[in-house]
Chains A and B, each alone.
Chain A
Amino acid sequence: MDTELVIRAQGGDQEAFADLVYAIADRFLAVSHRILSDISLAEDATQQALLSVWQDLPQLRDPARFEAWSYRLLVNACYTEGRKSRHWTPNVRLLSVDEPMAVDGTSAVVDRDQLERAFRRLSINHRTVVVLHHYLDLPLDRVADIVGAPLGTVGSRLHYATRQLRTALIDDAQPTTREVVL
């Protein structure tokens, strides 16, 4: 991110902020869409986050940290929107899946619908960690910084989410024996 742009926007330069918006808004909407799985909620979260960036920008002490700071605002906005509309089912019972999945058959079985269905069943906390790590390619320590949770907690959430997805995918592939959604 152009630090100079951030500094100018901090000073109230609306043109500079407009440039910032066009630089980050696409990514904001993409991230929030993936976290919330709903484009309307994602647009609301993005709008709120961008306005929060504008409002609070003068208080950002280190412009070089703009990216992480702004993502934190976005995640908070996603949590807020998520609370307004909970249409995921968070409780999926974990089964023992330590045995290796049939690798050869995986790619054939797993399609995007299965994955989306499984992803929707994750809580918003788990989705957030997954999206920040796997979509933005952020290391876990930076994810922890953004979501405001200890590194160990973030690691646990990612592990849990991965297991949920893995299990759910297997369930979808073998519905007669593994279907135990609570």
Chain B
Amino acid sequence: MSEPRTSDRIVDPVLRSWLHEDRHEDVSRVAGVVLDLLDTTPQRRRPWWPARRFPVLNKFVYIGLSAAVVVVALVIGTRMLGPSTPSGVGGTASASPSPSPSPTASPTPTPIPIGGTIQFELDGAKATTVVDAVADGTSVSGTAVTTSAAGTHTVRLECAARQGDRWAFVGTTETSTFPDEGTGAWSAVVVEDGTPQKVGIVFGIDKAVGDDCHAKWQTISMADMGVSNPVESGELVPPPALAP
């Protein structure tokens, strides 16, 4: 089996000739509409802070604006979202009103709430990332929203991945007012284990139609990412399948 040929002496000339046929397009109307809309269409400008992405990886990966990252109060999030009983250490008989009677034992494999809220410093300004998601194995659904002086960056999460002491919530940029960020690219919140955790936001990894989250992130090295910003408060908790 030979490698793909990208030229064909029969099809190519016919195809090129056909593509270059004059199709009588008239762009004047479209151009006029666009120019009319300029006054009401603001340009997205870089923020006042030096919002360069980490030069870390190649063109595929940009690690967010100087620092990225943050902290998550995962514990809080987990408590708020989490299911009923914690670890249930039979506790002393507190006088507090007892919760509901007896939980019926129906161990259905429900997705596990993960995520949380972390705060960190991003180029001298406070930033917050809120991960609101559930996990089923390494599949994740939910959002990761990072907010700073630069804007708000919302990622629709699809999966989680771990490489050594680093792991990430990964998804597709849904909306972003951060500089240089469009929608539809891979984006991630990358966390390095430790106390405190360190975090980085990865922006703008090209996403091709049909890309699979798990497969894609097996090909990307998190070791090269500039995950250097200590979480100041909160903690992000990975899906149980990726726990350290």
Q: Which of A1-53 contact B (CB under 8 A)?
A: 12, 14, 17-18, 21-22, 25-26, 28-30, 33-34, 39, 42-43, 46-47, 50-52
Please give, as numbers and ranges, the residues of chain A lying within 8 Å of B10 by CB-CB distance.
101, 103, 106, 166
A115 CB within 8 Å of chain B:
yes
Complex alpha-carbon distance, A116 and B23, angstroms:
13
- Contact of B30 with A51 in the complex, beta carbons under 8 Å: no
Total interface residues on A, CB under 8 Å, equals 60
User: Is B48 among interface residues, defined by CB-CB distance under 8 A?
Assistant: no
For the complex, would chain B's binding face be called helix, strand, loop or mixed by DSSP majority?
Answer: loop
Q: Is the CB of A42 within 8 A of B209?
A: no
| Least CB distance, A114 to chain B, in whole angstroms | 9
B26 CB, min distance to chain A CBs, angstroms:
8
Given contacts A147-B208, A149-B206, A162-B8, contact A56 B44 (CB under 8 A): yes
User: In the bound complex, what is the Cα–Cα distance between A84 and B46 (angstroms)?
Assistant: 31
- Please determine whether A162 and B11 come into contact, CB atoms closer than 8 angstroms: yes
Q: Count chain A CB atoms within 10 A of each CB in B3, B14, B182, B184 and give the residue with the most.
A: B14
Within 8 A of A (CB), among B179-197: 179-180, 182, 184
With contacts A54-B43, A148-B208, A166-B10 taken as known, whether A134 is within 8 angstroms of B25 at the C-beta atoms is no
Question: A-contacting residues of B (Cβ < 8 Å)?
Answer: 3-8, 10-12, 14-16, 18-21, 23, 25, 27, 29-31, 33-35, 37-39, 41-46, 179-180, 182, 184, 206-210
**Residues of A near any B CB (own CB < 8 A):** 12, 14, 17-18, 21-22, 25-26, 28-30, 33-34, 39, 42-43, 46-47, 50-52, 54-59, 61, 76, 79, 101, 103, 106-107, 110, 112, 115-116, 119, 124-125, 130-131, 133-135, 140, 147-149, 153, 155-156, 158-160, 162, 165-166, 169
